[in-house]
Amino acid sequence: MRPIPLPLDELVARLGRWSAGRGPLYLLLAARFRQLIDEGLLAPGVLLPPDRRLAAALAVGRTTVVAAYDTLRQEGRLVRRQGSGTRVAPAALPPGPRVRETSNPLFLHLLETPDDVILMSCAAPLDPPPELTEAYRTMTLPSGDLGYHPAGLPALREAIAQRYAARGVPTAPEQVLVTTGAQQGLSLVTRLLVAPGDGVLVEAPTYPGALDLFREAAAVAHPVAVGPDGVDVAEAVKVMEDHRPALAYVVPRFHNPTGSVLPPLAGRRLVEAANRLGVPLVDDEVLADLAFEPRMPPPSLSCYGEVIGVGSLSKAVWGGLRIGWVRGTAPLIARLARLKAIHDLGSDVAAQHVATRLLDGFAPIVAARARMLRAGHDHLRAELARLLPSWSCPPAEGGQTIWVSLPYGDGVAFAQVALRHGVAVLPGATMDALGGSTRCLRLHFLLPPDLLSEAVGRLARAWAEYAAQAAPTTSPTVSPAALNAIAV
């Protein structure tokens, strides 16, 4: 049987923070490979990349990869033959059922053992607001209630429906499903509407957690480029006309990762086209509340027609409050509730009671979060301008992230160097189904100012090391102020 090749970017993602420990790099790399093989995450027969390709992707010397491979060959975990490459040994693990797991660095970084790496890869509030602590402290659980609510606590469904109605989207509680975070909501929608081989329209780049779900469903991605004003609506309409995908997924407000905002007229055209062509359109609303300016957030796409809205409290409140929702037609929500009941019989009731109380006085919570985000955004961009002036990072109007373009090189390889300097960043290529964004990084600004400054200082040191190897003809562009940071 021919060896099964593993895509290079997927392998690099699975390796995660392999270089964050102590000791020679080849031993650290061998240790991570050993873990992946022993846990079945690299199956028997998988063909590994050639030495030089893997070394370039990891931004290390070829001898590091050769030594790591040879260490594992001596242990019997790898087989290396001239002309046929390097593969996981057939006896390394007995055959078993197919494993489905993420190779997304966004999630893999969260699964790592805590260390001194600054996580700029996963964007979520670092601390819960005092209103959340107070709501839990004073909460009283109901009596005479089994606690099983697959569709969600009625009071919370009502509160979410009222929130839509206040924004010009009339909504009944029967049109709302409460989920364990927006990720579960998107997962349920995908399970219900997408079959293996179906097409899914996605933005390029887009939220990588959505790409994970569509890959798990064995869907065929139809990527459409995102520009400064959001997704290319003309191209999206053409894709829907040509392919009639089972689903279209967009992040129109404070786009993750670029921060762009889709203009209202473009949003209307997108919704009307999707409705006309019978393509279910998912509006990821998770970041929609996080406008920096104290004004009404941009309109929901649901204002313009039939749309499946997916939202949560994880970004405006705290990631540990696992409360999300799906808004759609009542028949769709009823089907999703029956599907959800198979998996968990309903989300945590105590958290739903707390969420109901928070939504009753939500405006001050959102305003406080927006002020913190604006301050973090401005501080991060100022530090990048001071220490890494050759990096391009346009300002955002809201959300949690900025989209950085490197002057040259490869974001995946640079991310490996950054890890060795103690910063985890998300390379653009992991979010782009078009195969682009290779020189881009997504950085969030939710850390305290001193930690953001420390992170940028580490990135400046990493860039000085990386650019010395990657620069085509010039020396690395690092500001004089960065020289002091590099010397620390």
pTM score of the predicted model? 0.80
User: Hey, which bits of 316-452 come out as E strands?
Assistant: 324-327, 401-405, 423-424, 426-427, 440-444
Question: Would you say 361 and 424 are in contact if contact means Cβ atoms under 8 Å apart?
Answer: no
Mean pLDDT on 386-412 = 96
Does residue 353 carry a pLDDT above 70? yes
| Radius of gyration over every alpha carbon of the chain, rounded to an integer in angstroms | 23
Which range, of 82-86, 119-123, 278-282, 392-396, averages the lowest pLDDT?
Answer: 82-86
Closest CA to 179 of 330, 321, 361: 321
Residue pLDDT, tens place only, 410-439: 999 999 999 999 999 999 998 999 988 999
- Going by C-alpha positions, the residue among 321, 331, 325 that lies closest to residue 353 is 321
| Contact criterion met (CB below 8 Å) for 285 and 253 | yes
Q: Which residues contact 47 (CB under 8 A, 6 or more apart)?
A: 3, 4, 5, 6, 85, 86, 87
Distance separating the N- and C-terminal Cα atoms of the chain? 53
Q: Residue 11: is its pLDDT beyond 80?
A: yes
Grade residue 110 by pLDDT with cuts at 50, 70 and 90: low
Backbone torsions φ then ψ of 200, nearest 5 degrees? -135, 125
Answer whether residue 71 shows pLDDT above 90: no
**pLDDT value of residue 70:** 87
User: Taking 70 as the threshold, does the pLDDT of residue 95 lie above it?
Assistant: no
Closest by Cα among 206, 283, 292, 199 to 241: 199
Q: How confident is the model at residue 94 (pLDDT cuts 50, 70, 90)?
A: very low
> Which residue type sits at 252?
P
- Say how far apart CA 359 and CA 155 lie, in whole Å: 11
Mean pLDDT over 456-482 rounds to 74
* Beta pairing partners, 311: 325
Q: In this predicted structure, what is the pLDDT of residue 299?
A: 86
CA dist 240 and 485 (Å) reads 50
Q: Are 374 and 405 in contact (CB under 8 A)?
A: no
Instruction: Quote the tokens at residue 378.
Output: 């401005």
Q: For residue 425, what are its two tokens?
A: 């960043």
Both structure tokens of 281: 């359109």
| Type of residue at 412 | V
Give the contacts of 127 (CB within 8 A, at least 6 positions apart): 318
Q: Where are the beta strands (DSSP E) in 338-452?
A: 401-405, 423-424, 426-427, 440-444
Q: Kindly provide the b/e burial profile for residues 175-203, where b requires at least 16 CB atoms within 10 angstroms of the residue's own CB.
A: bbbbbbbbbbbbbbbbbbbbeeebbbbbb
Q: Is 103 exposed, middle or buried (0-12, 13-18, 19+ CB in 10 A)?
A: buried
Query: Does residue 471 have a pLDDT over 50?
Result: yes
Tokens of 104: 């997304």
The answer on pLDDT for 144 being more than 50 is yes
pLDDT tens digits for 179-209? Answer: 999 999 999 999 999 998 899 999 999 999 9
Determine how many CB atoms are found less than 10 A away from the CB of residue 138: 9
Residue 156's contacts (CB-CB under 8 Å, 6 or more residues apart) are 178, 323, 352, 353, 355, 356, 359
pLDDT tens, residue by residue, 261-276:
999 999 999 999 999 9
Please check the confidence at residue 475 and state whether its pLDDT lies above 50. Answer: no
**Per-residue tokens: 51:** 């030495």
How far is it, in rounded angstroms, from Cα 460 to Cα 480?
Answer: 11
Per-chain mean pLDDT for the chain: 89
The CA distance from 280 to 29, in Å, is 44
Task: Region of 78 please: left (phi>0), alpha (psi -120 to 50) or beta.
Answer: beta
Report the C-alpha gap between 216 and 205 in whole angstroms: 18
Percent of the chain with pLDDT over 90: 69
